[in-house]
Amino acid sequence: MRALGPVAIVAALLAAAFIVPPALAGTPNDPEISDIKDGTRDSRDIRMVWFGDETNDTIDATMNLTALESYTNPQEIPNLPTTEYEVYFSVGDQNYSVACTVPVHGPLGVFIAFDVRTVTYGNSTSNPTETSVSSFSGTYSVSTQSITYPIPKAQIGQPKAATHLSKTWAAVWNTNRGQTDRTLEDRAPNAGYGKDYIVRGQAGAEIIDVQLTAENSTLTVSPAEPARFKVTVLNNGTSQVSLELHNSTPSDSGWTCELSLVNMTLLNGSYKVAYVTISCPRNAKRNTTAAFTIWATVHAGQQNATTKYLLLTAVVDYIPVKENTSSNPFSAFINWIKAHPKDFMMYLVVIIVLVILAGVAAFAVRSSRRKRQELSDQVPAQT
């Protein structure tokens, strides 16, 4: 655990003593992180955390609790408890937290300090390793049961508009005098993560971010059974959007591509499912593939955008059933001709030549017999 240096303590003391924390306007109806009452003492029970009031330099994160202590319970003072109220998030592959550290609650909270930390997780979030990288001024408000963290963008990678603060969660930790490990008092949510926050910039621009994903990008198809792809359309942007789905035109004749849903409206953070049905021609050969692209045109207010293309591939997996020709010699003969056309033509020519030769031979024999008969008729009978 990082110890507060004397300079940080003096700075926090002066800031808390001469600056009156401003009152908060309230809590959003849809916070990024929310939690339920689970028996944790009120001063360490997180209700919700939300992000907002963004400028070009900072993003406000606000933690609201069931209550906040204005002073430490006298019975706990001998333990010199240190309480840390932390909000965790990730920017790309880097994990961060912002912490409000309260060594001992007292009048005006003179020892309260805020800092940004880089975070490394092990197999879970239960025991993260944290390193302080900078301090900043925040607000610990007993009257509103809330802590506000103006997160300096410069200390979290200077995220640009449309960047996501992902893997959001919050915790309250406690460490008594003499302890080396912190005790987790409350976690919000109880498991997993909250929703992403999307960076907008000071102007509060609406960010269009619609994503198309397929449960399977490759499926088999046959003339009797088309391929049916499940496509999820997620609105990961900052506002409600309307959109139209499109598909590419089949390049080979006989192939078809149909969408179960073309037009839809999505609230931010919501999704819908559409099915893409791809059919192949009846004469498609086995292992033939056909690729189709799916995309959407998106509209949010006066802004329009096009999603990334989703590639779906159908592979023909079909072997025609062979006919039973054992009792039908003629069908077997026809099938043999279809399978061996060159051999058939060769045999046909040989047969025709043999027939012609046989005809010529038969004609010669008949002519010879006729001549012998004529000569026999011309010889006079002896008396």
pLDDT one-digit tens code per residue, 176-229: 888 888 999 999 999 999 999 988 876 556 778 899 999 999 999 999 899 999
Query: Position 292: which residue type?
Result: F
Residue 137 has pLDDT above 80, yes or no: yes
Would you kindly state where each structural domain of the chain is located, as residue ranges? Answer: 6-198, 210-316, 329-375
Ranges 19-23, 294-298, 302-306: which has the least confidence:
19-23
The fold of the 210-316 domain, in CATH, is Immunoglobulin-like (2.60.40)
Residue 107's pLDDT band, with cuts at 50, 70 and 90, is low
Asked whether the beta carbons of 91 and 155 are under 8 A apart, the reply is no
pLDDT one-digit tens code per residue, 39-96: 677 778 999 999 988 888 999 999 999 988 777 667 677 777 889 999 999 999 999 9
Residues comprising the chain, all counted? 383
Higher pLDDT, 74 or 315: 315
Asked whether the beta carbons of 16 and 162 are under 8 A apart, the reply is no
Tokens representing residue 33 in the block:
């992180």
Show contacts of 281-286: CB within 8 Å, 24+ apart: 281/223, 281/252, 281/253, 281/254, 281/255, 282/223, 282/254, 283/254, 284/221, 284/223, 284/254, 284/316, 284/318, 285/316, 286/316, 286/317, 286/318, 286/319
Mean pLDDT on 256-276? 94
